[in-house]
Amino acid sequence: MTADYVLSESDIARTLKRIAHEIIEGTPDSSQLVLLGIPTRGAILAKRLAQHVADITGTTPPVGSLDVTMYRDDLSESAMRVPQPSKAPEGGIDDRVVVLVDDVLFSGRTVRAAFDALIDLGRPRAVRLAVLVDRGHREFPIRADYVGKNLPSALHERVSVYLDEVDHEEGVRVER
């Protein structure tokens, strides 16, 4: 749409390709790879990453989505949140290298909840984290293995990721 994207459509595409390369490099046996996205946008990004991995290696890794609503630590503070669908990846996650995918890494609480959800799903061999944007202000000792862009931000700002599949526009914006 406009000029105030900090990441444009083409930036996003390039970044995802780069992350896909990094994932493959970091996973010697790519047949062990499983991508698990956190809905809504993490799940979309996971699908795209899987496609990029397929473009490079010729095989599409299994993709799933992992809703973490039920594992959040702030549930009693607000109105009931209806959980998003979770879809386990084909073949499960036991003994796999699971790459968790989300759009923005902020306080780290969502990822913490995702760890709990993951452990209830099975026992992966390893867990990695891939995010499109890391905006800092961590409240938990969590860091991403693969980062699209580091975006230092003020607490009061909103970092929003727009993806065509759900938002009908593409880009990352910082709203003050």
Partner 1 sequence: MKHLLGCEGMSADEAISLLDTAAEFSALAGRKVPKLPTLRGVSVANLFFEDSTRTRLSFESAAKKLSADVITFTGQGSSLSKGESLKDTAQTIEAMGTHIIVVRHSSSGAAWRLAHSGWLRSSVINAGDGTHEHPTQALLDAFTLRARLHGDSALGKDLSGVSVVIVGDIAHSRVARSNVHLLTTLGAHVTLVAPKTLTPSEVDQWPVDYTASFDKALATYPQAVMMLRVQNERMKGSHFPSPREYISHYGLSTQRFRRLPKSTLVMHPGPMNRGVEISSVAADSEQSTILEQVTNGVWVRMAALYAVHGQEGSVNG
Minimum Å gap between C-beta 164 and partner 1 is 22
Minimum distance, C-beta of residue 91 to partner 1, in the bound complex (Å): 13
CA distances for 130 relative to 7, 61, 76, 145, angstroms: 17, 15, 29, 6
Distance of closest approach, residue 17 Cβ to partner 1, in angstroms:
32
The secondary structure element, H or E, covering residue 103 is strand 97-105
> Among residues 54 and 75, whose Cβ is nearest to partner 1?
75
- The interface with partner 1 within residues 64-123 (CB under 8 A) comprises 67, 70-71, 75-77, 80, 82-86, 88, 116, 119-122
At residue 143, the 3 state secondary structure works out as coil
Q: Give bridge partners of residue 159 from the DSSP assignment.
A: 174
* Dihedral (CA of 128, 101, 62, 19) sign: negative
Query: Based on CB atoms, which residue is closest to partner 1, 113 or 129?
Result: 113
Interaction site with partner 1 (CB under 8 A): 67, 70-71, 75-77, 80, 82-86, 88, 116, 119-122
